[in-house]
Amino acid sequence: MPITPDPILTAAREEFARHGYARTGMAAIAKRAGIAVGSLYNSFPSKRDLFTEVYLAENDRAKQALLASVDWSDPRVALPQWVAGSIEAAQGSRILAEWFGDALGPHLRAVACPESRCGVLDPLLAVKLQQWREEGRVSPDVDDDLFEELYAAMIALDRAGVISPRSLEFLMDALLDKVFPVAR
């Protein structure tokens, strides 16, 4: 009888959430799933493949919750909500935090957006940016690369904790004024 991936994914999610990617072993996942390590490798040839499946499911759950909570009608409102929600989700999850990591981040971004380059941007945010651009809400001076760099800088500043929340909010407002000048 073939082993279905559901118990494996559940066990993997629990292990990755508890220990993170680097400190989770395939043997621990197999033990938690109640299967032999060889059976685990028959279903998932590598830890990275298994983590990718877990990440995509976890990211989808978190993204759906965030999508419902963000007011997308105005980019000047939506972006701060999206950034704050994304940071909060990543800080609260060892699984989601890997999107921003050096080890797995590039792989996860390539899997999440195979048709286009989205760098650190979530594919949904890249789509929203394109929509706002088509609506004429984005300054013509701001191309996708610049937007991505600014987005990454805001996340890095927030995660590093090197400036006060007040300063971060001021910087975000200043950036929004330059990026979305007609969205007032």
For the chain, the domains span 7-179
Return the higher-pLDDT residue of 63 and 116: 63
Fold held by 7-179: Tetracycline Repressor; domain 2 (1.10.357)
Q: For 34-122, where are the alpha helices, taking DSSP H only?
A: 37-43, 47-69, 75-91, 105-112
Q: What is the average per-residue pLDDT within 152-166?
A: 79
Nearby residues of 91 by Cβ (< 8 Å), 6 or more positions away: 97, 159
Tokens matching residue 107: 């792989």
Q: Measured at the alpha carbon of residue 56, what is the angle toward residues 87 and 20, in degrees to the nearest 5?
A: 65
DSSP secondary structure, 139-166, as one string: -TT--HHHHHHHHHHHHHHHHHT-S-HH
Task: Report whether pLDDT(127) > 50.
Answer: yes
Encode pLDDT of 1-21 as tens digits.
345 569 999 999 999 999 999
Q: Are 8 and 40 in contact (CB under 8 A)?
A: yes
Q: Are 23 and 71 in contact (CB under 8 A)?
A: no
Nearby residues of 156 by Cβ (< 8 Å), 6 or more positions away: none
Q: Has this prediction a pTM greater than 0.85? A: no
Lowest mean pLDDT among 8-12, 73-77, 160-164: 160-164
Q: Band the pLDDT of 122: cuts 50, 70, 90.
A: confident
Q: Band the pLDDT of 125: cuts 50, 70, 90.
A: confident
